[in-house]
Every structure is written in C-alpha cells, then in structure tokens.
Structure 1
Amino acid sequence: MDPAGERQRSGVLTVGQVSHHSIELIWTREHGTDWTDPPENWTCFILEQKNNRKHTYKEIHKGYNTCFTVENLEPKTTYTFRLKVTWPSGQQHYYPSVSASTENEPLNGRNLHNAVLRSDELELRRVLQSIKVTVDVPDKLDFTPLMMAAMKGFTSGVQILVHHGADVNKRNRSGKDSLMLACFHGHLDVVRFLRSCGASWSSLDRSGCCALHWAAAGGHLPILQYLIQDGCEVDVQDGTSWTPLMNISVFTGDTAAASLLIKAGADVNVQDKDGKTPLMVAVLNNYDHLVKILLENGADPNIQNQSGVSAVEMAHAFERKNIISLLMDEESETSN
C-alpha cells in the first residue's frame, strides 16, 4: 500500500479538552480499523512527550485508539507532543508536533482558608467571587472559613463570608459553631456581628456546652457580660451538668469572671452529675482566691458529693492549707 495514501487516512495530532492538570490529544482515521483482522494488520499510534530541558521525546502512549488524555500535569505549563503512526505495511511517519498549555489551577477551599489565615480581604473577595468555591468548605480539621475567621477575630473577613452565604450556625464534628469559637477566643466584635446575623447562643456542641460555657472557659469578661445582657441563661448545664461557673472552677479560677456570673444569678451550690460543686472543684484545683469568692457568696463547704465527701474534707485530704484557713474562717463566722 502507498504510504502517502495511508497518511491521508490518518489525521494530524490536535488538542482537545484542557484542564489545569490534563491535556486531551486527538487524532483521526478516515476508515476505522477492521478489528476482525489480526493485530498485525492494525494501524498503531505512538504518542510522545517532549522533555523541554533535554530536547528529547519519550513515549507516553501506544495503542490503536485515536485519543489519549495526558494526566498529572502541572498547572499553567506548556507541553509539546508528537504522534508517530505505524501502518500494517511497516511504514512509519511522524506528524508535526503540537504544543498546549494547561490552565491555571482553579481556586479551591485551600485558597479560601489561606486567605482567612492571612487575614487578606482582597484575596478572600477574589476567591469568593470566582463562584467556584463553596463558602462553607471545611478544612482537614472540619473548620469552615467562617469558623477560622471567628477564631482569629478577622471581623471584616467574617462579614465578607456571611455576605457570601456562610452559615453562621454551621457546626463542625465536635459540634462547635463560629459563635462558640469567637466567645472562647475573646472576639466581641465578631460575637456581636454573628448574633446580629442569627447565630444562636443556645446551640450546644457535642459535650452539651453553649457559647456561655466557652466564654467562661476563655475568661473573657466583655463577652460574658454581653451574653448575659443578651439573655443567656447563667446556669445552663452541659452534658455533665457543668454550668459556666463550674467551667471557671475547672479551667481558669478567674475570680472576676466568677463574680460576674454570680452577680448575674449563678448558683454557687449547683452540683454536677457526680455531686461536685464549684467550691469542691476550686478546692481540688487549689484556686484559693476563687474559693474565697465562692464562700463570700454563699457556697456551702459541707455539701457532699455522691461519694459522701465535702469540700472541707477534700481540702484536708489534699493539704490545701490556705484553703483550710478560709474554710475554718467561714465555719467560725457561720457559728457566730
């Protein structure tokens, strides 16, 4: 068979669909291969890719089909390919090479999170305006961009994300929402804005804690005061019956935060599922200043937990000398 005639039946190499990581290459054949013929009578196509540094070609595909998609390419990069055809007669022919460039890598959730981490308003707007990124896309730790912005105190970023549809009440795997995170990290402007957008302070995480629990654990007085004024229940209990005052006894021993809650009506003698009171926990943690505040506000040192142990007995068992003195003074005043 005339090789020239065979060449006319096999078309030149052309570029099909291109993405940021792939290039589709297509070549045509006027008449399809008669697949009932033995393989030695089939026309074979070999696709080669150029190494731009070495100016050499390497084979990347060999077969009888008329298209191939080259995968795992770098974005925004130019690649060169050529096609070699081998006809049943044994004749071979190289067609002219073609070059194609991959597209820019599409904006994705990682771009969105990075913009928040850098507190970059311009980049944040650019990514969101691409309309290709889901605004509530979580990272590997299941935090959305809004949650990250709330934790950072990136107030303008929070506003931008909410404007683009971010869900202010969305929760991560542990049940925490953006309001809880802003409360714990002490960002009052973010807390105010989220509340104005419908964020609920009554929402509970998987341990049963609400925003007030996390504000108390973080020890942020302005946020505690704002939430109390906003109507938060001061004795709200989590899954283990801990109130925000108990959280302070457990985590911080912050007397100012405790005083604020007590002034708002927090029960100083509330007991959790094990019968522990804030006073008992303050004794165990050796928070003597907090013990003093609790006693001054009516905490009963003789209440017993489910094991029949009181705060007084705990203080003696752990040799909390300063606290024992406070408790003795309290008993002396009570007896008088």
Structure 2
Amino acid sequence: MNPAKSPDLPQPPVIGKVSHHSIEMSWLNEENKSRTGPPEHWTHFSVEQMDPKTHTFSSIYIGYSTRHVVEGLKSSTHYSFRLMVTRPSGEFSFSPVVSVFTKREPFSGENLHQALNRENEQELTTVLQSRMVNVDVHDKMGFTPLMVAAQKGFTSLADILVKHGADINKRDSTGRNSLMQACYSGHLDMVKYLRKCGSTWQSRDTDGCSPLHWAVDGEHLPVITYMIQDGCEVDVMDKVSLWTPLMHVSAISGNAAVASVLLQAGADVNVRDKAGKTPLMVAVLNNHVKLVKLLLDSGADHHLKNKLETKRLFMFQNIINLLDKISMEDSD
C-alpha cells in the first residue's frame, strides 16, 4: 500500500547562512524532539531542489537531521527548495517552496587587475568599494595595480587607485616603483600626476637607478625634459657601476638626441664610472658614431683615444678614423 499524502503542510525550510557557493537550511521537528525508540518511529525529512528548466523536484538530502547545507552552487544564482516530511505512519507532506539567491563571488586581486587592464573605471571602482581586495595586490608579474596603470598610462584609473589608498612608493621585486614605470614607458601625464601625489626623483631601484635612468633607457625626450625642468639631478649615479644617465645612453641606446638634452642640462661629459670609463670611451666601444661626435663636440676629452689603444682591435674603423681626424686637427 502506498503511503498517503498528509493534508498538513509543514513550514518551508528556514534559510540560514548564504554564501556564493552554499545555502544553509534548517527546519523544526515538533513530533520527535527526543527521538526515542527505533528510527522507524521517527519522522524523516527530504530536502528537494527544483530544476529551473523542467520545474521538477529531486531530493538532495534524506535523513533525520533538521539542518542541511547545500554546497557546490553557482554564485549569483536563483535556487528553489521544498521540504518533504514523512511521518512514522507513512503519511508525507510538502512544504511551500522557498527561493533564495546565492551571493556574488567575492572579488579577488585577479578581478582588480582584470578591471584595470580592461581600462574599466566603473568595474575598478566596484571592486575597490567592496573592500574585499587589497588595493596594492600584486599580479603574477609582481606589479601592483598602480604600477600597471603607470606602465600603461591610465592616469584616470591611477587616480581612482590612489584615492582608494594605493601606495605610490610600492616597489616590485627589482625595486622599481610606479614613477619609474611611467618614466620608462614615456607617459608624461602619468609622471606629472605621480609627482603631484608625492613621488620623488630621489627614489632608487635595487641597483640604485633613479627615475631619470629609467626615462633615459626608455628614450622619451618629453619626459626627460620635464624631469630636468622639475629639478631632477642630471648626474645621479647608480650604485652598481656608478653610471650616470649619460653613461646609460653611451652604453645602451646611443641616442644622441637624449644625450644632447642631458648635456644641455649640464651633464658631466667626462664623468668616470667605477671602472674609470667615461661616456666617450663607452660610446666608442659600443660603436655609437653619432653619439661619439656629439660627445666630442660637447667637450669630451678626445685624448682618451690614446688610453684606448689596447681596445683598438675591438673598435669599428669609422670611429677610429673620427678620433684620428680630431688628433690630426689638434696637431695642426
């Protein structure tokens, strides 16, 4: 004989704690509070979940407990449940349906960086206002959101980050801060903004390189010009090789236009590094012909050519000819 359906409707499950992936439910058991006797004399319960497509129910819990936590759910999703109560007599009844939404999945550092890289101001603000994420959280490359904004030139997003407490002096694993990122990438508006926020030209990375070293390496004339006009020290040295920005140009890019700006600002054309080399010596060894000429025209000591004789086999002939020509002119 099939069990009979009871006319008495039980109360629906009471919704407890709801997260982005779980829902807690509880219900009363008025008939068997003490649960004396064998289990077959107890009322048992079944929590049923509705399929949103077919509107049919299936059991997700069967037992004697008055509490159940549904886990493994999707975030921000609507779920419906009912309680089936089966009494010792075999009679059963269903409660009214109760519906609930799971919460939105908590924001993470990944969400913050995604919003930043998409240049989405509204999304970035939403993540920050949730207060679930540290504004200075690093990405996989070790960059904070402000460093990324500085690197990409997202000044308006940088302003949002700073207003939510971003640390302008935070550094990556190499000691670079946001100002250095902006200088190297050539974003003048970002450089000006960070200066307004208190970033300083005196900051150094782990090798002792300054923002001007990074701007020179990036070969960005408008940024370099602004930095010098703003009082940046021209002959600042790193702490590894004692290279000034002018020495960086001689060793790396050979960019005569960048060197010219530095020289016009008073950079020492005959400064020596830790090994005793001058910008001219380094430019010669790196075959930067235009830069060699500029340095010589700017007062570089061309008699250093004699000190370079041991390096002669490593020089390119056009530079040797240039130095020889100058020496002959001096003789005349």
Give the shorter-chain TM-score range. 0.7 to 0.9
Cα–Cα, structure 1 residues 195 and 11, in superposed 2: closer, same or farther, change >3 Å? same
Aligned-residue offset at 1:201: 1.4
Give the letter for the 1:324 counterpart.
Answer: I
TM-score (norm 1): 0.79
Matches within 5 A, 1:69-80: 69-80=69-80
Q: CA RMSD in A?
A: 3.7
Say if 1:59 and 1:214 are closer, same or farther in 2 by CA, change over 3 A.
farther
Q: Give the whole-Å Cα distance in 2 for the aligned partners of 1:159 and 1:119.
A: 13
Q: CA deviation at 1:42?
A: 8.1
Distance 1:121 1:55, change over 3 A: closer
In the TM superposition, 1:33-48 aligns within 5 A as 47=47
Q: State the match for 1:257 in structure 2.
A: 258
Q: Note if contact 1:217-1:251 (Cα within 8 Å) is conserved in structure 2.
A: yes
1:322 CA drift (Å): 1.7
Q: CA deviation at 1:211?
A: 0.7
Give the residue type in structure 2 aligned to 1:317. L
Q: What amino acid is the match of 2:212?
A: L
Percent identical? 52
Higher mean C-alpha displacement, 58-67 vs 11-20 = 58-67
Report the Cα distance in structure 2 between the residues aligned to 1:275 and 1:38, rounded to whole angstroms: 95
Shift of 1:117: 2.3
Q: CA deviation at 1:92?
A: 8.7
Equivalent residue number for residue 172 of structure 1: 172
Q: CA deviation at 1:324?
A: 1.6
Equivalent residues of 1:312, 1:324 under 8 A apart: no
1:194 corresponds in structure 2 to: 194
The C-alpha deviation readout for 1:216-253, integer Å capped at 9, x for no partner, is 11111121122222222212122322221122223321
Distance across 2 between alignment mates of 1:133 and 1:194: 23
8 A Cα contact 2:281 2:304, kept in partner = no
Q: Name 2:288's counterpart in structure 1.
A: 287
List runs of 5+ in structure 1 lacking aligned partners.
Answer: none
Flag the 1:71–1:302 CA change in 2: closer, same or farther, 3 A.
farther
User: What's the TM-score, normalizing by structure 2?
Assistant: 0.79
Q: Is the partner of 1:180 in helix, strand or coil?
A: helix
Which residue number corresponds to residue 161 of structure 1? 161
Aligned pairs, number: 325
The alpha-carbon deviation at position 57 of structure 1 amounts to: 5.8
- Please tell me the residue identity of whatever aligns with 1:187: H
1:331 aligns with 2:327: yes
Distance 2:91 2:237 in 1: 81
CA distance in 1, matches of 2:41, 2:331: 111
Shift of 1:171: 1.8
Aligned letter for 2:112? Answer: L
Q: Distance in 2 between matches of 1:68 and 1:282?
A: 76
Q: Distance in 2 between matches of 1:247 and 1:94?
A: 83
- Whole-Å separation in 2 of the counterparts to 1:317 and 1:32: 99
Q: How does 1:98-177 map to 2 (within 5 A)?
A: 98-177=98-177
What SS does the aligned partner of 1:207 have? coil
User: Which whole-Å CA distance do the structure 1 matches of 2:60 and 2:330 have between them?
Assistant: 90
Distance 1:52 1:293, change over 3 A: same
